A and B are shown apart, each in its own frame.
Chain A
Amino acid sequence: MIKTSTQNELIQYVYDELAKNASEQLETAFMHDEELAESCSELLQIQNLLDNALKSPHKRAVQNILNYSKSLSLQS
């Protein structure tokens, strides 16, 4: 059973918010705690899925933004 504090550290670790010393301790723990290493792996997998689930807007919408900015520059 992974402690709640360690689970929170795992979340900070996969989002690169854990302090260097704590990260190193966690990485050492992965070597001899299979459950902890598996939990980290699962978090990284779902994180990867979330990254790839990003959607792109149509080019037209992006061009509208750029055109608006340029029109403001021309006015000033």
Chain B
Amino acid sequence: MNTTTQVSDSALVSLYIAGNENAFEQLVNRHKNKVYTTILLIVKDTYTAEDLMQDAFIKAIHTMKSGRYNEEGKFSSWICRIAHNLAIDFFRKEKRSPMITLEDGSNVFNTMAFAEDSAEQLQVKEDTHARLRELIQTLPQSQREVLMMRHYADMSFQEIADATGVSINTALGRMRYALINLRKKMLNSNIAYDKNLYSE
């Protein structure tokens, strides 16, 4: 039995600050997908997203190693906020808008592995997930922002409300519309939408 999965992020951070590199490896492996996806949904380029993901974790390393890490709040929210800010800064420096025209993501995104599925099922899933990531980009910015902060950056609705300067009811409303809009867009795109297909 692997008991290390029970260790909290907070404990792993403390262990890492004390010099335990294995604790950091667990933190990275636990959060790399959310950090990477948060960035990828903004920059839409795998190489740039990987570079910025590395920058985000390096920034986190320096903050933790220098004793400036704030124990308040969740590590996941913190690291995803760093990632989100780096991705936005990237666009400011490049003087580009994150709301660029979408393309078919099939050549851009990596193949996801589901060993238990047939090749055909794998393709259906990957197509669906790639299309979903595209559809997230088409949401109004305020809705997309809340969706990414809550679903991928793991921030609470109150934290999102504080960060974006709106009431919690507004944040909740934006999230509700984001999810409803995504569902409508999925249905309108004739994308397979079977809960049994996607359950793990």
Contact = CB atoms under 8 A, between A and B. Distances in A.
A62 B37 CA distance: 14
B58 A42 contact: no
B101 to A, nearest CB: 20
B25 A12 contact: no
A11 B170 CA distance: 12
25 contacts: A11-B175, A11-B179, A45-B198, A46-B182, A47-B151, A47-B179, A49-B129, A50-B147, A50-B151, A53-B133, A54-B33, A54-B152, A55-B36, A57-B32, A58-B50, A58-B110, A61-B50, A61-B53, A62-B28, A65-B54, A65-B57, A66-B24, A69-B21, A69-B24, A72-B65
A69 B133 CA distance: 31
A64 B200 contact: no
Nearest to B133: A53
Contact of B198 (A4, A48, A76): A48
Contacts, number: 106
Given A11-B176, A12-B157, A12-B172, 6 more contacts: A48-B195, A52-B125, A55-B112, A56-B112, A69-B21, A69-B24
A45 B34 contact: no
Contact of B128 (A49, A57, A58): A49
The 6 lowest CB-CB distance pairs between A and B, nearest first, are: A8-B172, A61-B50, A53-B129, A57-B36, A65-B57, A54-B33
Q: Helix, strand, loop or mixed for chain B's interface?
A: helix
A44 B179 CA distance: 10
Contact of B34 (A54, A61, A76): A54
Contact of A55 (B24, B25, B37, B57): B37
Q: Helix, strand, loop or mixed for chain A's interface?
A: helix
B156 interface: yes
Interface of B: 19, 21, 24-25, 28-29, 32-34, 36-37, 40, 49-50, 53-54, 57-58, 61, 65, 109-110, 112, 125, 128-129, 132-133, 147, 150-152, 156-157, 169, 172-173, 175-176, 179, 182-183, 186, 193, 195, 198-200
